[in-house]
């Protein structure tokens, strides 16, 4: 299996409701997600990420296009394609009278996992809920509920795990635990797809990233290559205090930071750092110290999703 997911020409139009006009949430997206990757699906609010994930999960019907999950066409082999994917949803609502163990057993039943093939105890152990296995869900903390949702997504041992905003509003300890789990699952061969608003997290975790905006795929690239795309670097200077900044080569921009340092952002394709430093020195700016900063995913994201 080279691609865990192959999406082509995917469109979704939500029908008009009352005064709200019809909304084309996905406008013909083509996207291949390599098997074995940790793949980030990013985009601003309303870009269409949840729509895409819900289509993968079989919760939203597409208007047009083709979706193959682990080689199974969703429309031709719905059962097999559903069995290949597990989804950890955003929302935390769950039956308050179920214990984690019972929830996992029920979920396994829904997926038709035979009793002998269930791995309930291992799953509870994996997400750190062994001690709460028999506690009612209403007594679980938000973090524990989230861990239970992860375990529920895994009952049928899917090839692909989709995490929709898994760390929104969770504390650092839980976030680390989630990511450790995700890495372990990925090392064991599972393909991971995640949406997140934390771009730092996507930068650190994902091998490849797709950015969607207004229902269209804007870019899909390896994380490292994506970061190399932005033509913007920053020199950060300690000038020993505020001074007048002389005019700089066109394309360069100077900003004073809150910590009193002077940040010069420039496109390295047309301006060399030494030309900038020469211009500053010639303008009488004392340079006590200099550091450089590379663009991060946030910069790339802002550039790619800026409305033109």
Ligand X SMILES: Nc1ncnc2c1ncn2[C@@H]1O[C@H](COP(=O)(O)OP(=O)(O)OP(=O)(O)O)[C@@H](O)[C@H]1O
For the chain, what's the residue count?
308
Contact by Cβ (8 Å): 65, 24: no
When asked if residue 62 is in the footprint of ligand X (CB under 6 A), the reply is no
- The DSSP call for residue 265 is E
Contact window for ligand X (CB under 6 A) among 38-46, 73-81, 93-101, 233-241: 38-46
Contact window for ligand X (CB under 6 A) among 44-52, 155-163, 223-231, 250-258: 44-52
Q: Partners of 289 in the beta sheet?
A: 238
When asked if residue 209 is in the footprint of ligand X (CB under 6 A), the reply is no
* CA-closest candidate to residue 5, choices 107, 65, 99, 84: 84
Contact by Cβ (8 Å): 88, 149: yes
Q: Which is nearer to ligand X, 44 or 128 (CB)?
A: 44
Which position among 6, 14, 37, 65 is part of the footprint of ligand X (CB under 6 A)? 14
Q: Which residues contact 119 (CB under 8 A, 6 or more apart)?
A: 155, 157
Q: Which residues contact 250 (CB under 8 A, 6 or more apart)?
A: none
> Token pair of 301, please?
């994201």
Quickly tell me which residue has 């910590």 as its tokens: 259
For residue 190, which phi and psi values (nearest 5 degrees)?
A: -80, 140
Which position among 40, 43, 86, 166 is part of the footprint of ligand X (CB under 6 A)? 43
Q: Which is nearer to ligand X, 52 or 148 (CB)?
A: 52
Which position among 25, 140, 150, 153 is part of the footprint of ligand X (CB under 6 A)? 25
- Residue 200 Cβ, how far from ligand X at the closest point, in Å? 17
- Residue 176 Cβ, how far from ligand X at the closest point, in Å? 23
When asked if residue 47 is in the footprint of ligand X (CB under 6 A), the reply is yes
Q: Report the C-alpha gap between 113 and 126 in whole angstroms.
A: 19
* CA-closest candidate to residue 164, choices 192, 194, 137, 187: 194
When asked if residue 51 is in the footprint of ligand X (CB under 6 A), the reply is yes
- Residue 40 Cβ, how far from ligand X at the closest point, in Å? 13
When asked if residue 19 is in the footprint of ligand X (CB under 6 A), the reply is no
Q: Which is nearer to ligand X, 45 or 269 (CB)?
A: 45
Contact window for ligand X (CB under 6 A) among 32-40, 43-51, 153-161, 168-176: 43-51
Under the rule (CB under 6 A), what is the footprint of ligand X? Answer: 14, 23, 25, 43, 45-51
């Amino acid at each position: 299996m080279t691609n865990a997911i192959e999406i082509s020409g995917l469109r979704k139009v939500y029908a008009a409701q009352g005064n709200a006009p019809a909304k084309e949430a996905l406008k013909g997206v083509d996207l291949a997600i390599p098997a074995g990757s940790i793949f980030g699906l990013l985009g601003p609010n309303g870009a269409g990420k949840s729509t895409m994930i819900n289509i993968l999960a079989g919760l939203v019907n597409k208007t047009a296009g083709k979706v193959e999950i682990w080689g199974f066409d969703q429309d031709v082999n719905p059962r097999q394609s559903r069995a290949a994917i597990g989804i950890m949803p955003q929302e935390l609502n769950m039956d308050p009278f179920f214990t984690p163990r019972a929830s996992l057993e029920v979920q396994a039943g829904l997926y038709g996992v035979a009793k002998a093939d269930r791995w309930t105890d291992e799953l509870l152990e994996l997400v750190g809920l062994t001690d709460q296995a028999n506690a009612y869900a209403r007594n679980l903390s938000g973090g524990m509920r989230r861990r239970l949702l992860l375990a529920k997504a895994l009952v049928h041992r899917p090839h692909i795990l989709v995490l929709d905003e898994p760390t929104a509003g969770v504390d650092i300890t839980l976030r680390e635990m989630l990511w450790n789990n995700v890495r372990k699952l990925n090392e064991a061969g599972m393909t991971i797809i995640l949406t997140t608003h934390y771009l730092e997290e996507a930068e650190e975790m994902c091998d490849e990233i797709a950015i969607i905006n207004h229902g269209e795929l804007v870019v899909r690239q390896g994380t490292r290559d994506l970061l190399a795309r932005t033509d913007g670097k920053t020199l950060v200077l300690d000038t020993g205090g505020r001074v007048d900044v002389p005019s700089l080569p066109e394309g360069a921009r100077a900003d004073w930071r809150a910590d009193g340092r002077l940040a010069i952002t420039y496109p390295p394709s047309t301006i060399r750092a030494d030309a900038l430093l020469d211009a500053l020195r010639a303008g009488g700016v004392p340079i006590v110290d200099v550091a450089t900063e590379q663009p991060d995913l946030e910069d790339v994201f802002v550039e790619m999703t800026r409305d033109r």
